[in-house]
A = this chain, B = another copy of it.
Amino acid sequence: MAEISLTDLGGLIGGEVAGDGTTLIRTAAAFDAADADTITFADTAKVLKRVSASKAGAVIVPRDFSGSAETNLVYSDHPRLAFARALHFFFPSRKPATGISPRASIGENFEAGQDVSIGPLVCIGDNVAVGHRVVIYPGAVIGAGVIIGDDTVIYPNVVIIDGCRIGCRSIIHAGTVIGSDGYGFVPDGETHFKIPQTGIVQIDDDVEIGALNTIDRATFGRTWIKSGVKTDNQVHIGHNVIIGENSLVVAQVGIAGSTGIGRHVTLAGQAGIAGHIQIGDNAIIGPQAGVTRSVAEGQVVSGTPEMPHRLWLKVCRIMPRLPEIKKRIERLEVMANKSAGKDAQKPQNR
């Protein structure tokens, strides 16, 4: 198990240590689970109040934290980020042994960088090239002509179909399918005639794709997931979709074909994005939203149909009151008819 002085750890995670820098830190944990050899963090008012009572070896706090504590503190501009860095130190990612398993099936003309790890029961097609330190876990199937960049990790039973390209330092979680045919048919009488999907999927650097995603190959050209994109589990990305840098796609989202997602967009869980539209940079789409029209840069929209998020919150408060509202209208109608009746009667009375 790793062991490090608080001074050294502070340097590693980019924080300023206040207290005993010689304290030995042996792990990182959540606030309430932190013992004397543990570093933890506090960045909300609620938790910061309790820092003074912490028995942790060190607590990472915001620069402007003014409280006192018996424990060591590490001041940071981004306590949560500093803590995540500490976690990487104490919990380095699992790395299987390097080498190519004799129980893997390797196609012709395989090019592999240094220190790759190809697990048992991996199947690699012809003319595949993988970079240095690439890890391919058991059961993954890599199609002919696929190219995978340095330091990328492919988890068990992932399928990457022929010709697709994966960048460097990317992670593809278990069971995900990259490069299956896009859903394209043209009517032929009552039947549907298949449109060949001639393109590929290109995934750039520092991308993380969740488990059991499906990312379809393009009809022409490429379906393109740009650098820094992170998808959660069970996401579906249709053919010719482009997702811009550093966008987040939460679980069970579906993006229909030919849609463009900008940079640093967030698509919340179970949202559905129609085909052939554009979601602007920094837009946020709410959970379960059904988005059928393009969304401008920086917009926050929710609901089905999509609308500004603040409006959606108001609509959400009114929805459960619709039965009451209907009754109020009925009451108004009774009053109005009564009043109109009187008005109607008036001429007769004259």
Give A contacts to B, CB under 8 Å: 29-30, 33, 78, 80-81, 84-85, 87-88, 91, 93-94, 101, 103, 105, 119-121, 123, 137-139, 141, 143-144, 155-157, 159, 161-162, 171, 173-175, 177, 180-181, 183, 185-188, 190-196, 198, 206, 208, 210-212, 214, 216, 219-220, 228, 230, 232-234, 236, 238, 245-246, 248, 250-252, 254, 256, 263-264, 269-270, 272, 274, 287-288, 290, 292, 303-305, 307, 311, 314-316, 318-323, 325-326, 328-329, 332-333, 335-336, 339-340, 342-343
Q: Within the oligomer, what is the number of copies of this chain?
A: 3
A87-B196, A195-B87, A216-B233 known; A251 vs B105 contact (CB < 8 Å)? no
B-chain residues with CB within 8 Å of residue A144 when the two chains form the complex: 94
Q: Are B159 and A155 in contact (CB under 8 A)?
A: yes
Find the B residue at minimum CB distance from A321.
B326
A91-B196, A336-B335 known; A323 vs B343 contact (CB < 8 Å)? no
Q: Are A251 and B238 in contact (CB under 8 A)?
A: yes
Q: Kindly identify which residue among B139, B191, B236 contacts A252, using a CB–CB cutoff of 8 Å.
A: B236
Find the B residue at minimum CB distance from A86.
B196
Q: For A94, A219, A251, which residue has the most chain B Cβ atoms within 10 angstroms?
A: A251
7 A–B contact pairs at CB < 8 A?
A: A157-B177, A175-B214, A190-B228, A250-B256, A270-B290, A274-B287, A315-B322
A105-B120, A162-B94 known; A248 vs B192 contact (CB < 8 Å)? yes
Q: Are B272 and A287 in contact (CB under 8 A)?
A: yes
Assembled-state Cα–Cα distance A320/B264 (Å): 26
Assembled-state Cα–Cα distance A181/B245 (Å): 21
For residue A126, give the distance in angstroms from its CB to the closest CB of chain B: 10
Q: Are B159 and A193 in contact (CB under 8 A)?
A: no
B-chain residues with CB within 8 Å of residue A33 when the two chains form the complex: 220
For residue A323, give the distance in angstroms from its CB to the closest CB of chain B: 4
Query: A156-B159, A171-B181, A325-B326 provided; 13 other pairs, C-beta below 8 A?
Result: A29-B220, A93-B196, A103-B105, A120-B123, A137-B141, A183-B230, A183-B250, A191-B246, A232-B236, A236-B251, A270-B272, A304-B304, A315-B322
